Structure 1
Amino acid sequence: MKTVFSYVKPYWLSALIAFILMLIELMIELVQPLIIAKIIDEGIVVNDFSSIQFWGIVLVILAIVALLSGIINSYFAAHVAHSFGFDLRNALFSRIQAFTMATYLKFPTSGLITRLTNDVTQVQNVLFMSLRILVRAPLAAFLSLVMAFIINPKIALFLFIGAPIVVGFLYFMVKKGITYFAQVQWRLDRVNRVLQECLQAIRLVKAYMRNQYESSRFQQVADSLRLDTTKALRIMELIMPVLLLIMNVSLLAVIWFGSNEVHAGNAQVGELVAIINYSMRVTGNFTMFAFIIIAIARAKASSDRMKEVLIVDEGGLEEQSDKKETKINSSINEIGTVRFENVSFTYPNSELQVLSNISFEVKRGEKLAIMGETGAGKTTLLNLIPRFYEPSIGNVFVNGRNIIDWSMGELRAMIGFVPQKSLLFTGSISENLKWGKQDALVSEVRISAEQAQIHETVETFPNKYETRVGQKGVNLSGGQKQRLSIARALIRKSRILVLDDSTSALDIKTEGALWEALEDENATMFVVTQKVRTARSMDKILLLHEGKVEAYGTHDELIQISTRYQQIVESQEEQVGEEG
C-alpha cells in the first residue's frame, strides 16, 4: 500500500490537521468518564451541588469543542481523501497512456477500468475513514483500557484478560479478508468485461437475437461475484459476535468484581462507573472493527492491483512526449522514406511468428498497397512504423534513421494513422477532426474534409461541423466514419500516411474521388486493401502470405510473377462480372 498512499504526501499538512483534530476528539472522549466520576464522587455522593454544576459546565464545554473538532476534521479529511483520489486516478491514467502496446495487452481493458474507478474509490474511502474513525477506533479502545487501568488497576485487570485473544483473532481475520476481497475484485473485473463486450456489440447481439444468451452469461459472472462477496462478508461478520462475546464476558467480570470492591471500601462508586464507561467504549469501538477490517482488506486488495500499474518498469513504457528531442539530420530525398530490413515479429507471450524476414523500401511520396489474406500480418506490419511494437528481429528505418533512435513525439508527429476500425469520440465533428491537430483553423478542417470526400455530407447535417457525434459515431454510417477518420489524419499534413483497410466501406465512385484528391498530397502512403482496383493505382504492391513477402512490385509486375496475385485478380474480376 506504500506505493499507492505515497500520493498523500502533497496533502500532509491537511492530513496532519485532520489527525490532530481527531486526537482532540479522542482525548475529550477519554476525559469524559473521569469528569462523570468526579460528578458522582464529589457531587452526588456528598450532595455538593456546586461541584456538580462546575463539572457539568466543563463537560458541556468539552462536548462543544469535540463537536467543532469533528466538523473541521471532516472537512480536512474529505479534502485530503478526494485530492488523493484525484491525483491517484490521474497518475494511473497517465501511466496507462504511457504503456507500450505489449504492456497494455497484459491488462484486460475491464481490469484497467476497475482500477481507475472502483479500486481508487476503495482506497480513497479508507483514507477518509482513517482520518475520521479507522485510526480513532483502535486508539480509543487501547487508551480506554489504559485509562481504566490508571483509575483502578485491580478492576481494570479483567478487561485485559481477553486482549491477547482479540489481537490474535483480528490479525487472522485481516489476512483472510485481504485474500477474499482480492478474489472479489477479480470477479468484478469479469463482470465489467462481460458488460463491456455486450454493450460494444449490442447491434450484433440484437441482430442475432442473442439477448437471452448474453443475459445468461452476465448472470453467471454476476452470480460468481455475489457468491464470493457473500463468502467474504460472512467471514468478516464473524468478527463482531466474537469480539462482543469476549468483551461482554470481561465487562461482566468488571461489574461483579468492581461491586465487591465498592462494598469492601476499596473503590469508589465513581471509579467503578468510569471503568464501566471505559469498558463500554472499548466494546463500542471493537464493534467497529468488523467494518474497519473489511475496509482495510478491500483497500489492500485494491492498492495491490493499482500498484501493478504504477510500478511497470521503464521497459514497459513508451518514451514520454516531453522527452528532449534530438536533432535529426535527414537529406531531403530521405524525408518520408520507410525501409524494412529483415524484419521478423512475434507478439509478447506468444511463440507464433507473425512476420518473417520482411524487407522492402518505400521512397518519399510513393504509395504502397499492402495485400494478403486475413492473418497475413498486414496490420502488424503497419503497427511497426509508428513503433506501437518494436521488431523482434531486424530494423525499421524512417527518414533513413532507425525508429528506435527517434523520440516517440518526433516519430509519430510525422505519421497520420487511420486504424482498421474507425474510432470517433463523443463531441462535434469539428472536435473529432481537430483531434488530429488541436490548433487547426476552420479552413484546414474544411480542406481535410473535402479531401476525404466527407465535406458535402457534413454540410447536409443541420448543425454541419458542430453536429454532435454519438458514442463511437453510432449515429453515422460506416463510410461516413471512415471518411472522418481519414480527414482527421489528413489534417495533420503528415509526411507518412498509414491507412489500414480504411476505405472498405466506400463505394467505387467515392473511393476513386478520394485517391484523386490525394494525388497531390505530399506524403508517403501505406494502404492496406483487399481491392485490386485500389492496389492497381498505387506505385507498388506488397503481397503478404502467412507473414512472409509473397511478391513485391507494380500491378503489372505481380501479374507476371505471382500466381497468388493472379488468383486474387481473377476472383475479383469474376465477382464484378457476376454483379454486372
Structure 2
Amino acid sequence: MKELKHVNKYFKKYWFKLLVGILITIIARVFQLVMPSYVNNSIQVVEDFMAQKITEPVAKEMLLEFILIIVGAALLSGFFTFLMRQTIINVSRYIEYDLKNEVFDHYQLLSLSFYKKNRTGDLMNRISEDVGQVRMYAGPAVMYGMNTVTLFACIIPIMFIKAPTLAAYTLIPLPILSVLIYKISKVIHNRSTVVQEYLSTLSTFTQEVFSGVSVIKAYALEPQVSGDLGGLAVEGKNKSMDLAKVNAWFFPLMILLIGISNIFVIYIGGKQYIDGEINSVGVIAEFILYVNMLTWPVAIVGWLTSIVQRAEASQKRINEFLKERPKICNQVAESIPIKGKIEFKNVSFTYEDTNITALKDISFSISPGETVAILGKTGAGKSTILDLITRLYDVSSGEILIDDIPVKNINLKTLREAIGAVPQDALLFSDTIESNIKFGKYDAMEKEVVTVAKNAAVHENIMGFTKKYDTVLGERGITLSGGQKQRVSIARALLKDPKVYLFDDCLSAVDTETEEEILNNLKKVSNDKTTIIVSHRVSSAKNADKVFVLEDGQLLQEGTHEELNNVEGYYRELYINQLSEK
C-alpha cells in the first residue's frame, strides 16, 4: 500500500469526521451484538418454563421484555449504521473532490512537452476512473474495514468467554481464509493494474475518434474504425474477465468456510450440550448468530482486498503524473508591470521530442509599441519565437529579455497576463460565442464584446446567427468556419487589452479584403502595444514597423517593407508572386 500513502494527507485533513464515523461504527456494532445474547436468554426462558422452573406469566413477561430489547437494539443499530454511512462515505467524496482538484491543478502546471508525450484519453482516465477507484478505498473500504475489525474485536472475545472449545473449532477456517486472501490479492493487484492501463488506451481511442469524426466520415472509414474498436473492446473484455475470474473465487470460498464453521457449531455444540459441557441450547443458537454475523465481515475481506488492490494500482498511475515536474517553473514571486520591449540574444532552440533545431543563433530587438511582422516558409521557426516569448518553452541557449529583464526572472503569471496570443489553430470551447470572447476578460460588458467583435470583423457573421452572441458552439468551435473561428479568437485577444499581441498566422483562413479590414482595425487598437504578426502573406507585413524573414531557423532578412522590397531576396520574390496572384 505504499502508493496509497499519498491519500494519508487527506485522512489527516478530515480526521475529525473519520473519528466520529469510527465511533458511530463501534456504537452500531455494539447494539448489533445485543441480539445474540438475548436470543440465548429467550431460549433459556423457554427451557426454564418447560422444566417448570418459572411460571407461564413470568416466562411471557420475560420473553416480551427480551423481544423489545432485541427490536430496540436492531433499530438503534440500523440508525447508527445510517449515520456511519453518511459520515464516512461523505468523507470519501470530499477526498475524491480534493484529489481531482490536485490532479487537475498539477495538469495545468505541467509544461507543453508533457502534453506532447501523453494522450488526452489517458489524462482523462487518470482523473476520472483512477480517482474513482481511490475513492472506493477512502470510503467503502475504510467503512467496511472498521466494521469488520469492530465485529471481530467484539465477537471473538465473547465467544471464547462463553464457550472456549466451541469458539476454537468455530474459528478454525479463518486462518485458512487469510492465507487464501493473501495469495489471491497478489494476482488481483497485477490484473487490476493491467485493466486500469487498458481503460486509458480505450479512452484515448474513443476520444480521438469523436474528435476526428469528420475525417472518418469524409474517408468512409466507419467500418474500419468500428472493427478497431471491436478489437480493443474484445481485448479489454478478456483482461477484465481475467480479473473477474480471480475475484469470483472470493465469495464461494467465504460461504464454504462459513458453512464449515456452522457445521462445527452444530456438531461440536450439540456434542458438548449432550455431554453437559454447555448448559443450554441457546448457546448454540447464539454461536450460530455470531458466525452469521461474521459471514459478511469475513466475506467482505475479499472485496476489501480487491478494492485496496485496485486503488493501489490506480494511485500508482496517478502518482506517476503527480511526480512529473514542470520544466517551466515560476522562479519569481514579485510581479512587475510589462512595458513591451522584447529582445532575443543569440537564441537557439531544439525540440526535445523531435530533436529538431527550430532556431539557430537568432538576435533581434523590438521596442515597446512597435509592430513587427515575421515571415518565412513552413518550418522556418516563426511560431517557435512566439512560444518562447510566452515561455511555453525555455531556450536551449542564448537569452530572451523582456523590458531588459531575462524572461526567466519575470513572474510567469504576470508575463502571460501581459500577452494576448492568437494561435494559428484557434481553440474555442463548447459554450456561447459571447463566453468564448469573454474568455479573455470574464467581467467584460456586452458593449465591449461587440466592439472587439467589430474590430475582428466577425460581428456581422455573429448577428446572422439565430441566437446571435448566445449561439452555442460545438466542440472546438466546429459550428463556425475556419475564418470565423480565427476572428472570434482575435476578438478574445483584443478584449484582454494586453501590452503585447502575438498573432500566429491567425488570418490565414480569411480573404484578403477581410484581412485588410482587420489589420487596419488592429493598427488603431494596438497603437501603444507591442505587436508581432506571424504570416505567410506580405499584405500582413506592409504596415509593420519592422519585418523579419526567417529561413531554416535563421534570421535571413530584417527591415521595413520598403527596404526589403527594394533588394533582391525572399521577401521581394514573395511580394511579386503574391501581387501577381492578386
Q: TM-score, normalised by structure 2?
A: 0.90
**1:334-360 deviation line (CA, Å, top 9, x unaligned):** x32211112222334554433332222
Contact 1:425/1:432 (<8 A) preserved: yes
Contact 2:141/2:308 (<8 A) preserved: no
Q: Hey, what does 2:554 align to over in structure 1?
A: 548
Contact 1:325/1:410 (<8 A) preserved: no
SS of residue in 2 equivalent to 1:177: helix
Q: Hey, what does 2:193 align to over in structure 1?
A: 182
| Paired letter, 2:298 | F
| Paired letter, 1:271 | V
Q: Hey, what does 1:395 align to over in structure 2?
A: 399
SS of residue in 2 equivalent to 1:519: helix
Q: Hey, what does 1:56 align to over in structure 2?
A: 67
Structure 1 unaligned residues grouped into runs of 5+:
none
% identity of equivalent residues: 29
1:143 positional shift: 4.2
Contact 2:185/2:309 (<8 A) preserved: yes
Q: Hey, what does 2:28 align to over in structure 1?
A: 25
Q: Hey, what does 1:288 align to over in structure 2?
A: 300
Q: Hey, what does 1:357 align to over in structure 2?
A: 361
Cα 1:368/1:85, change in 2 over 3 Å: same
Cα 1:19/1:506, change in 2 over 3 Å: same
SS of residue in 1 equivalent to 2:395: coil
1:234 to 2:245 alignment: yes
1:536 positional shift: 4.1
Contact 1:141/1:281 (<8 A) preserved: no
Q: Hey, what does 2:513 align to over in structure 1?
A: 509
User: Relative to structure 2, which stretch is displaced further, 350-359 or 182-191?
Assistant: 350-359
Match of 2:378 among 361, 364, 374: 374
Q: Hey, what does 2:141 align to over in structure 1?
A: 130
**1:285-337 deviation line (CA, Å, top 9, x unaligned):** 32233332222222222222223344444x556439xx843446x8xxxx322
SS of residue in 1 equivalent to 2:14: helix
Total equivalences in the alignment: 568
Structure 1 Cα separation of the partners of residues 577 and 183 of structure 2: 70
Which aligned pairs between 1:117-266 and structure 2 lie closer than 5 A? 117-130=128-141, 132-141=143-152, 143-266=154-277
Q: Hey, what does 1:415 align to over in structure 2?
A: 419
Which aligned pairs between 1:380-529 and structure 2 lie closer than 5 A? 380-520=384-524, 521=526, 522-529=528-535
Structure 1 Cα separation of the partners of residues 551 and 155 of structure 2: 77
Contact 2:330/2:412 (<8 A) preserved: yes
**1:513-543 deviation line (CA, Å, top 9, x unaligned):** 1111122322222222222333344333333
Cα 1:511/1:80, change in 2 over 3 Å: same
**1:494-522 deviation line (CA, Å, top 9, x unaligned):** 22111111111100100011111122322
Structure 1 Cα separation of the partners of residues 370 and 415 of structure 2: 19
| Paired letter, 2:409 | D
User: Relative to structure 2, which stretch is displaced further, 177-186 or 166-175?
Assistant: 166-175
Structure 2 Cα separation of the partners of residues 78 and 241 of structure 1: 28
SS of residue in 2 equivalent to 1:469: coil
Structure 1 Cα separation of the partners of residues 546 and 336 of structure 2: 31
**1:48-73 deviation line (CA, Å, top 9, x unaligned):** 51432332221111111111112222
1:566 positional shift: 5.9
| Paired letter, 1:443 | K
| Paired letter, 2:334 | E
Q: Hey, what does 1:39 align to over in structure 2?
A: 42
1:539 to 2:545 alignment: yes
Runs of 4+ in 1 over 6 A off after TM superposition: none
Contact 2:328/2:391 (<8 A) preserved: no
Q: Hey, what does 2:290 align to over in structure 1?
A: 278
1:387 positional shift: 0.9
Structure 1 Cα separation of the partners of residues 374 and 201 of structure 2: 37
Which aligned pairs between 1:557-568 and structure 2 lie closer than 5 A? 558=564, 565=571, 568=574
Structure 2 Cα separation of the partners of residues 417 and 99 of structure 1: 19
Match of 1:344 among 335, 342, 348: 348
User: Relative to structure 2, which stretch is displaced further, 360-369 or 199-208?
Assistant: 360-369
**1:365-415 deviation line (CA, Å, top 9, x unaligned):** 333333333333332221111111111212111122111111112111221
Contact 2:549/2:557 (<8 A) preserved: yes
Q: TM-score, normalised by structure 1?
A: 0.90
Q: Hey, what does 1:302 align to over in structure 2?
A: 314
Match of 1:112 among 123, 131, 135: 123
Structure 1 Cα separation of the partners of residues 18 and 184 of structure 2: 28
Contact 1:145/1:159 (<8 A) preserved: no
| Paired letter, 1:524 | T
Contact 1:540/1:554 (<8 A) preserved: yes
Structure 1 Cα separation of the partners of residues 354 and 459 of structure 2: 44
Contact 2:336/2:414 (<8 A) preserved: no
Structure 2 Cα separation of the partners of residues 529 and 363 of structure 1: 20
Contact 1:451/1:514 (<8 A) preserved: yes
1:3 to 2:15 alignment: no
Structure 2 Cα separation of the partners of residues 549 and 132 of structure 1: 66
| Paired letter, 1:231 | D
Cα 1:467/1:246, change in 2 over 3 Å: closer
Structure 2 Cα separation of the partners of residues 157 and 180 of structure 1: 36
Cα 1:478/1:173, change in 2 over 3 Å: same
| Paired letter, 2:555 | V
| Paired letter, 2:307 | A
User: Aligned-residue CA RMSD in angstroms?
Assistant: 2.6
Contact 2:42/2:66 (<8 A) preserved: yes
Cα 1:154/1:305, change in 2 over 3 Å: same
| Paired letter, 2:29 | L
SS of residue in 1 equivalent to 2:129: helix
Structure 2 Cα separation of the partners of residues 169 and 139 of structure 1: 22
1:12 positional shift: 2.8
Cα 1:266/1:46, change in 2 over 3 Å: farther
Cα 1:431/1:217, change in 2 over 3 Å: same
Structure 1 Cα separation of the partners of residues 311 and 349 of structure 2: 40
| Paired letter, 1:145 | I
1:439 positional shift: 2.7
SS of residue in 1 equivalent to 2:502: strand
SS of residue in 2 equivalent to 1:371: strand
1:101 to 2:105 alignment: no
Structure 1 Cα separation of the partners of residues 228 and 564 of structure 2: 49
| Paired letter, 2:387 | N
